[in-house]
């Protein structure tokens, strides 16, 4: 019993590959053994039948040897008596057929006694043939010679004695062959009977082996797979699994994994139920969002506290009602159906608009509707999330109105600056005119009066520059800038700017460096405004470069544009203040002791002028100093160069 349990456990723990090999190999091995036995039996029977056939062949051929020699002797005697050549036909036939017949006999004789007698027959046959040959030669000699006749008679008698001796040997061979034939026939019968017995034994063993294989397959695989199938059905129904033996083969490991999977699945189902419960509680307790479900027709099927707080209806009041009652009269007839259709087509849809509360008041809502699908892709309903955005809309309306007011104020400011600048320009021109008249008589004035005139002219020119800059900015903001965009030869413009700005740079004790990366560049720009921008940037570089030695002006191609740079090697600009460089009236560095004169509009005006010419302007900090750059569109090769 213990051995049986051990063998059962041992067999159950073997891998399926080994079990399959055993199940297939066992009947196959039995079949091969059976086939081997059958082959051996068939081979033995075939050998026995071959022995019988050889016995018949020996008997046949020995009779044929005797017959050929006897016919040949009779034919020679007839030839001796008649001298007719037709009697020699049996003799010639014997001469032709005897050698192959002896060769056949030599190849098929196995018995030693028969072999001995066969050799005697072969020697007698040689003597017989020689004697017949001698008789034929004697018969062809001189006829009527008594001596020749006596020799022929003696040869005939000798040949007869040889033929009789041969007949005796052949008879003995026949007797021996008959005895051997009886033995061989009995052996064939024995082999046939043994063959039938082996066939029956092989069939029985094969049947038993097949039954054993089926039993092993059934106990080792089929029955256990049936148990696994039953457990799989229980797993599908959510029931507890049956305990199975802890076998170590693949099916056993599969059963163990199925058990672990069942425990894991039940744990996940429990976690899913808990998660769904938490999700339900979260949805129901959310108060800032109205979250509810709709069926495919738009009827409300669930309702949370947020929806109740936002819309005013309780769950019993709204469940079963169509969600179109949340829409005002002007959109109720078409917008709900459109929203559901768009959600079906796109999966989700978002909208903002006025909605109604239970008391009839309106609120601005942000609504998201998402379609819910089953496993087949069919729409099962919709999830709708609503948020009260009334306060945000009020804020946006207030911000929009403030923006409109700011735009109006900015326009009014620009208009005011423009009118004020025009109004100031006329008296300022008169002041500068009278100041210039006083400068003509400067030599007649006293030193204090001369200094006063210089201060008047300096202040007037500064104020006139400020007025002109204000007018330019106002014109740009109003969109009334007088721009004449044309193809401009940068070499000519830079040379003109260099000539105009050289005194300004020299006043600061700086050198003026000019670099042209590529001569002959043509830009699309307003020539006068381009010169104005360059002079502004160079003047700024010269004014603020207190510690350096030079100002550099460079230009070259960059892609489809032309890049122009103005750089100095002074103190540079504080990185924290770089974002305010192009802000009007914001003059950086005025908190220092060494203030620099200026209106604070140069960079702002330059930025607007460059942008009006479809370019860009910016600042970057090199290793030392400051670098301002701007780009202009490069003129196409077919553009006409300006006349020089």
pLDDT in tens, 463-472: 666 666 655 6
pTM: 0.36
Average pLDDT, whole number, for the chain? 77
pLDDT attached to residue 417: 57
Q: What is the pLDDT of residues 33-80, one digit of tens each?
A: 766 766 666 666 677 677 777 777 877 887 787 788 788 888 888 887
Q: What pLDDT shows up at residue 295?
A: 92
- Assess whether the region 286-388 and the region 484-633 belong to the same CATH fold: no
Q: What is the pLDDT of residue 382?
A: 92
From 181-185, 219-223, 301-305, the region with the lowest mean pLDDT: 219-223
Percent of the chain past pLDDT 90, that is, above it, reads 11
pLDDT at residue 1 tops 70: no
Least confident of 172-181, 538-547, 596-605: 596-605
> Are 308 and 285 contacting, i.e. CB atoms less than 8 angstroms apart?
no
pLDDT beyond 70 at 13: no
Mean pLDDT over 397-405 rounds to: 80
- Decide: helix, strand or coil at residue 420: helix
Q: Report CA-CA distances (Å) from 128 to 101, 124, 291.
A: 16, 6, 131
How would residue 251 be classed by pLDDT, with cut points 50, 70 and 90? Answer: low
Long-range contacts of 581-586 (CB under 8 A, 24+ apart): 581/619, 582/606, 582/607, 582/617, 584/473
How is domain 31-192 classified at the CATH fold level? Answer: 1.20.120
Question: Distance between CA atoms of 77 and 139, rounded to whole angstroms?
Answer: 10
Instruction: Report pLDDT for 248.
Output: 60
Q: What is the reported pLDDT for 412?
A: 61
Domain 484-633: top CATH class: alpha beta
Which secondary-structure segment (H or E) carries 433?
Answer: helix 390-440
- Sheet bearing 348-356, strands edge to edge: 289-294, 379-388, 362-373, 348-356
pLDDT at 633: 93
Query: Which of the pair, 409 or 576, is modelled with greater confidence?
Result: 576
Question: Taking 90 as the threshold, does the pLDDT of residue 252 lie above it?
Answer: no
Q: How high is the pLDDT of residue 599?
A: 53
Q: Which fold has domain 286-388?
A: Beta-Lactamase (3.30.450)
Q: Is 637 helix (H, G, I), strand (E, B) or coil?
A: coil
CB distance 336 to 313 below 8 Å: no
Per-position DSSP letters for 562-606, written without gaps between them: EEEEEEE-SS---GGGGGGTTSTT--TTTTSSS-----S-HHHHH
Length of the chain, in residues: 644
Predicted confidence (pLDDT) per residue in 413-432, tens digit: 556 555 565 556 567 666 76
Pairs from 76-79 (Cβ < 8 Å, separation ≥ 24):
76/132, 76/135, 76/136, 76/139, 76/159, 77/156, 79/136, 79/139
392 vs 242, residue with greater confidence:
392
- Alpha-carbon distance of 323 to 307, in angstroms, equals 12
Q: Determine the Cα–Cα distance for residues 409 and 391; give it in Å rounded to an integer.
A: 26
Say if residues 250 and 267 touch (Cβ distance below 8 Å).
no
Q: Judging by DSSP bridges, how do beta strands 561-568 and 486-489 pair with one another?
A: unpaired
- The whole-number average pLDDT for the span 615-622 is 90
Instruction: Indicate whether 82 pLDDT > 60.
Output: yes
- Report whether 328 contacts 355 (CB < 8 A): yes
Q: Where are the domains of the chain?
A: 31-192, 286-388, 395-461, 484-633
pLDDT at 594 over 50: no
């Amino acid at each position: 019993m213990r051995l049986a349990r051990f063998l059962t456990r041992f067999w159950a723990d073997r891998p399926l590959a080994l079990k399959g090999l055993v199940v297939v190999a066992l009947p196959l091995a039995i079949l091969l053994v059976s086939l081997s036995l059958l082959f051996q039996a068939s081979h033995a029977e075939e050998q026995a039948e071959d022995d019988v056939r050889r016995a018949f062949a020996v008997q046949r051929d020995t009779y044929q040897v005797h017959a050929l020699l006897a016919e040949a002797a009779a034919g020679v005697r007839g030839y001796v008596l008649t001298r007719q050549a037709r009697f020699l036909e049996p003799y010639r036939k014997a001469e032709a057929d005897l050698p192959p017949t002896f060769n056949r006999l030599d190849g098929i004789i196995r018995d030693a006694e028969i072999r001995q007698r066969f050799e005697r027959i072969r020697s007698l046959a040689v003597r017989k043939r020689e004697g017949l040959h001698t008789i034929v030669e004697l018969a062809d000699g001189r006829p009527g010679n008594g001596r020749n006749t006596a020799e022929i008679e003696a040869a005939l008698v000798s040949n007869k004695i040889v033929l009789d001796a041969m007949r005796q040997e052949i008879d003995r061979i026949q007797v021996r062959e008959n005895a051997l034939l009886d033995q061989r026939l009995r052996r064939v019968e024995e082999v046939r009977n043994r063959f039938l017995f082996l066939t029956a034994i092989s069939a029985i063993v094969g049947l038993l082996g097949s039954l054993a294989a089926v039993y092993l397959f059934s106990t080792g695989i089929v029955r256990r797979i049936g148990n696994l199938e039953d457990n799989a059905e229980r797993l599908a129904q959510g029931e507890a699994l049956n305990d199975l033996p802890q076998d170590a083969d693949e099916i056993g490991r599969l059963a163990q994994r199925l058990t672990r999977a069942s425990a894991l699945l039940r744990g996940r189902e429990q976690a899913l139920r808990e998660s769904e419960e938490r999700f339900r509680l979260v949805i129901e307790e959310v108060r800032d969002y109205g979250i509810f479900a709709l069926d495919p027709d738009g009827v409300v099927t669930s309702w949370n506290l947020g929806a109740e707080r936002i819309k005013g209806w309780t769950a019993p009041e709204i469940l079963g009602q169509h969600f179109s009652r949340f829409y005002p009269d002007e959109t109720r007839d078409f917008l709900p159906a459109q929203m559901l259709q768009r959600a079906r087509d796109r999966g989700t849809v978002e909208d903002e608009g006025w909605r109604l509360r239970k008391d009839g008041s309106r609120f601005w809502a942000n609504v998201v509707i998402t379609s819910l699908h089953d496993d087949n892709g069919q729409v099962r309903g919709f999830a709708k999330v609503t948020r009260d955005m009334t306060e945000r809309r009020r804020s946006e309306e207030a911000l929009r109105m403030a923006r409109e007011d700011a735009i109006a104020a900015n326009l009014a400011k620009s208009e005011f600056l423009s009118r004020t600048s025009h109004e100031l320009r006329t008296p300022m021109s008169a002041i500068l005119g009278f100041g210039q008249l006083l400068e003509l008589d400067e030599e007649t004035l006293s030193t204090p009066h001369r200094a006063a005139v210089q201060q008047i002219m300096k202040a007037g020119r500064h104020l006139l520059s400020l007025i002109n800059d204000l007018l330019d900015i106002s014109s740009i903001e109003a969109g009334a800038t007088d721009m004449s965009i044309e193809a401009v030869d940068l070499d000519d413009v830079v040379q003109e700017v260099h000539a105009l700005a050289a005194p300004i740079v020299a006043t600061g004790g700086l050198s003026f460096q000019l670099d042209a990366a590529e001569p002959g560049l043509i830009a699309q720009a307003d020539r006068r405004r381009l010169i104005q921008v360059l002079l502004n940037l160079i003047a700024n570089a010269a004014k603020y470069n207190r510690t350096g030695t030079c100002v550099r002006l460079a230009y070259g191609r960059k892609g489809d544009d032309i890049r122009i740079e103005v750089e100095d090697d002074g103190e540079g600009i504080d990185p924290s203040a770089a974002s305010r460089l192009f802000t009007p009236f914001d003059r950086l560095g005025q908190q220092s002791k060494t203030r620099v004169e200026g209106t604070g509009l140069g960079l702002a005006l330059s930025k607007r002028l460059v942008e009006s010419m479809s370019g860009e302007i910016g600042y970057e900090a090199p290793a030392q100093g400051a670098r301002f750059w701007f780009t202009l569109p490069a003129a196409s090769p077919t553009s006409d160069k300006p006349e020089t």
